Each structure stands twice: as C-alpha cells, then as structure tokens.
Amino acid sequence: MSWIVSLPCTRAEAEAVSNGSALDALAEPPVVVTREIDQDAGLWQLDAYVDDKPAPALLTMIHALVPSAKGKQPTVDELVEQDWVTLSQQGLEPVQAGRFFVHTSSYADRIPPGTTPFLIDASQAFGTGGHDTTAGCLEMLDRVKRKGTTPRNIADIGTGTGLLAFAAMALWPSARTIASDIDPASIFVTRDNAAINRMPLGRGSGALTLAVAPGTDHPAIRHRAPYDLVIANILAGPLITLAPDIAVATAPGGHAILAGLIARQMEPVLAAYRTQGFRLAARGGSSEWPCLLLVKRRRYGWRRKERAFHRADPADASFGSW
C-alpha cells in the first residue's frame, strides 16, 4: 500500500517545488507532484506520494512547502494497489501534431488516413506526445520538412521514449540518427518502442543508434558530429548549460530544435544560444511551452571561429552502450 498527501497551493509554489525542496534530503523522500486543477480559477494542488502512512513530522515538512495552505488540514488517503500503467494509458488521448498521430494501444484501430502514426504506450520515460513540448517539437519537425530542409545527420539529445527520433527518421529516412538520454531506462524504453514502430536500430543511414549520455558527452555522439539537426526537448536549465556543447555539435547552417522551457524562460535560453552563434528562425509550440527553431550562423573569412571537436575512434561509436 502507499499513501497520498494533498494540499492546495499556488502556481508560484508549484514551480518552486518542481526545482527541489527540503524533502529531497530525506533518506526516502516522497514523490511530489504539482498540478493545475482548475485553469479558470487558477487553482493548483500539491500531491506527495509515500510508501507508508506519513508521520506527523513528515506532514509538517510537506505543509511547509505551501505557505498559502496555512491553517488548512492536508488530505491523507491510502491508495489501493492498481495497474497504473494500464490506467494511465486509458487516460492518454491520441495526439495529432503536424502529419504525426501518436497513440497508445487503445487507439491502434483508429488511425486517421494520411497520417504518420507512432504507437507509444505509457512508460517510465517522458515523451508520449501528450505534453505541449513534445507536440510542439513534432510540429516543428514537420515544419522543417515542409521548408525543404534535408538533414543527413541528426541527434536527439534527451530522447525519452524515442518519439522525436522516430519522427525525424520518418521524415528523413536516409539520414543517420542518434538518440541519447542520461537515464538508462529511457534507452531501454526507446529500444522497445523502436521495435514496436519498426524503426531499425544500427549505425548506418536509415538506422537509429542509441546511447546513454549526459548531454552530448558520449564517444558515439562526438564521433558523428557535426549534426545538421539537433533536437533537445529537456529543461531550460540543462538547455542553457548545454549551449556550448550543442553549438560545437551543430554544423554551420545547421538547425537546433529546443523545447522543455516555459515562456518566461525563453529569453535566457535564447541569450545562451545567441552567444554561441545561433539565431532564432521560428517559434512554435504553445503560448506557455514554446518550441524554438534555431539556425547556427555560418562563419566566413579568416576570423571565423572554429573549435576543435574530439574525434573518437570509430570503434568507440558503439550501439546501445549501456
């Protein structure tokens, strides 16, 4: 059995908690989730999941995360064990973004004609297409294709379920594509999803290479650089930190699709990439979750900036290096 502790909160408190809290220092910290329960009224809620019935001290710590709930008693409920994956899949509606139709097994017999479908069931990894960031990236990929761009070398950094890498492969089937994630579980999920969606794995053209890596730090990613297209649907902080590395990995004139940031984080992210020689070519996504298409400027003349990029031995460019 497990338990859930719920309290009302403000949006500001929800955003603050998402960046970490005092609970993280506990030996067995609760899983804390915040969500908007009424968009019109601006009502938010904090839910903390714990394995055992929460002690008063833990309730006090959880209450301290949301000062706006002072004087209100938290709701504490015992959860009955259920098949959460199956339940979550039942609640996932299909998503159509550009030419892509992303669905779970429940909708496998309801694919609209003329779409490019992907079956992505609920899993441990992020990226089922339902979130605005993933849908925005799918639409941006479709937009890049319609403009006539033809990347031959593609990297999906922070791939999650592999969905964006699959979409790129469907658009440019002759390209070489590599997908990486810092979480080994995501790479296992991507491998399984590749089999389900008949996406070939390997190292040649038209195949997908997989790697566990923090950012671009992997021999296979370094060896294949520079890339005509880099996709990074992660978070604003890592996007800013990775700006120099993504700049090195992107070919002059190449594109970068960035997402995972909220609207107020767009300017700091853009500033980090402009410093590295990128310009904003297009903005997509939703008003709250923008998706940015950047182009790396070409450098001409004897003053052009060049940075050495470590070329690993081809033998290091291993597939599925977990």
With the CA atoms of 168, 187, 259 and 30 taken in that order, what torsion angle do they form, in degrees rounded to the nearest 10? 160
Is 233 annotated to bind a ligand? Reply is yes
> Is there a binding annotation on residue 177?
no
Q: What is the DSSP letter of 314?
A: G
Q: What own/partner pairs with CB < 8 Å and gap ≥ 24 does 115-123 have?
A: 116/167, 116/170, 118/163, 118/166, 118/167, 118/193, 118/197, 119/193, 119/196, 119/197, 120/161, 120/163, 120/193, 121/85, 121/89, 122/85, 122/88, 122/89, 122/92, 123/85, 123/161, 123/189, 123/193
181 is in an annotated binding site: yes
Distance CA 108, CA 119 (A): 7
Percent of the chain that is helix, strand, coil (3-state, to 5): 35, 30, 40
Q: What are phi and psi of 146, to 5 degrees?
A: -65, -25
Annotated binding-site residue? 197: no
The token pair that represents 45 in the structure block = 């809620």
Q: Are 66 and 13 in contact (CB under 8 A)?
A: yes
- Please enumerate, by residue number, every residue annotated as part of a binding site for S-adenosyl-L-methionine: 134, 158, 181, 233
- Please enumerate, by residue number, every residue annotated as part of a binding site: 134, 158, 181, 233
